[in-house]
Amino acid sequence: MHIAIIGYGKMGKEIERLALGRGWSVDLRIDIDTPPVTPAQRSNIDVVIHYAQADRIVDDLTPWAEARKQIVIGTTGWQEQLPKIEALVKKNGIGLLYASNFSIGVNIFFHLVRNAAQMMDKFPDYDAFIQEIHHKNKLDSPSGTALTIGQIVLKHLSRKKELLNETSHGKIRPEQLHVSSVRSGSVVGTHVLSFDSDADMIELKHTAKNRSGLALGTLLAAEWIAGKKGLYKMDDLFDDLLKKETVRS
């Protein structure tokens, strides 16, 4: 597998470390100060992986789509550009997979959240809320992962109708699902979904120990998207994996 990495920060370096450990070739490492990539450099790439600035995503990926290269997007905070990305995929006949979080553990967590919300829909005494904590340098807030958790809950917990993503300065409406964020230190990522009643509280919690889980899931996505056409989410990959007897990262 020959890959290019757009965004050579901590995640980019971790992806490179694990990719090289698998015997893959990291042919290009692209950052803000990298010279423009030539068509010849693109020609040998199988998959390009994007973990860079959200506001540059369309410009970053357009030449790769036009070169008909497969794409994996790990960048968050770009969803308003989704129609343009979708148009690139369709026009150039490529495969693209994106996710708010590529961690295998987080995607297991998403499935647990769905099951919990479906169960709690039958128990109206429990109110739900979401908390997330990340390092002080994270650009987006709430995290894409927290927003995904929120959307899952809204879909399966009928008494919640909308997300409240900002600090509440007063009483919130019963139909609002509050998502709160903390930015501090070097926390890789913690997400908690809580169900609270007068009698007790139930919490589902995922804590990332390092960036390896994200990087492993990203490489898994790079393998999976090979040869496919269309726009995919991590759910598509994960549903496919769950059909197999054993999932190995």
**Token output for 108:** 């297991």
Residues in the chain: 249
Residue pair 200/156 in contact (Cβ under 8 Å)? The answer is: no
E strand residue ranges, 140-223: 162-164, 176-183, 190-196, 201-207
The contacts found for 209-214 with CB under 8 angstroms, 24 or more apart, are: 211/10, 211/11, 211/14, 212/14, 212/18, 213/103, 213/104, 213/105, 213/106, 214/11, 214/14, 214/74, 214/101, 214/102, 214/103
Enzyme catalytic residues:
134, 138
Beta-carbon count within 10 A of 164 CB: 17
Spatial separation of the C-alpha atoms in residues 180 and 133, rounded to whole Å: 9
Hey, what are 176's tokens? Answer: 């609002």
